[in-house]
Amino acid sequence: MSPDWLPFFEWCEASWLGQFVRTSIWLFPVIEAIHLLALSSLGGAVLLVDLRALGLALTDQPIGALARAASRWLWWSTAVMLVTGVLLFMSEAVKCFHNPAFAVKIAALPFALGYTAFIRARVLRDDALVTGTKSRLVALGSIALWFTVAAAGRWIGFSS
């Protein structure tokens, strides 16, 4: 990450919110646990549709109907992930600045979000029961992007 951004990361960590989370013994672990609960529901909502689009599960229902039903849970989970994620970040922003896993995660995240909102949502809305090559490719892309975000996120705690 560019050194120009370091002051911003320092500002985040010194902010009232960053201090508030960091000075508590319980807050970080509890927010982390909520982040993990939202990971589960986000993962479920994403994978349900991607597995269907790959033709690997639930093939007796149209992709579009499943995607529409899952979308509510997908975006609510994303909202919880973003709020808890920002809180966790604020409390240790300077550590994140020097953390390669964080850089990977934060670079992949906008792609995963944009891809899900614009490309995936547009392709996976067909109400036919067939599974086309295009849906398969889009589902693979979705799994690859979200996997990168999640795996890099877990690795923040292991790399330094």
Positions touching another protein (CB under 8 A) are: 25, 29, 32-33, 36-37, 39-48, 51, 57-61, 65-66, 69-70, 72-73, 147, 150-151, 154-155, 158
CA 20 to mean position of chain CA atoms:
24
14/65 with CB nearer another protein: 65
- Four-residue CA torsion sign, 42, 121, 131, 108: negative
Distance in Å, CB of 34 to another protein, minimum: 8
Q: What is the C-alpha to C-alpha distance for residues 88 and 21, in angstroms, rounded to an integer?
A: 8
23/40 with CB nearer another protein: 40
16/158 with CB nearer another protein: 158
Distance in Å, CB of 38 to another protein, minimum: 10
95/155 with CB nearer another protein: 155
Instruction: With CA atoms as reference, report the closest residue to 139 among 51, 33, 10.
Output: 51
Structure tokens at 137: 């490719």
Identify the residue whose tokens are 């000075």: 23
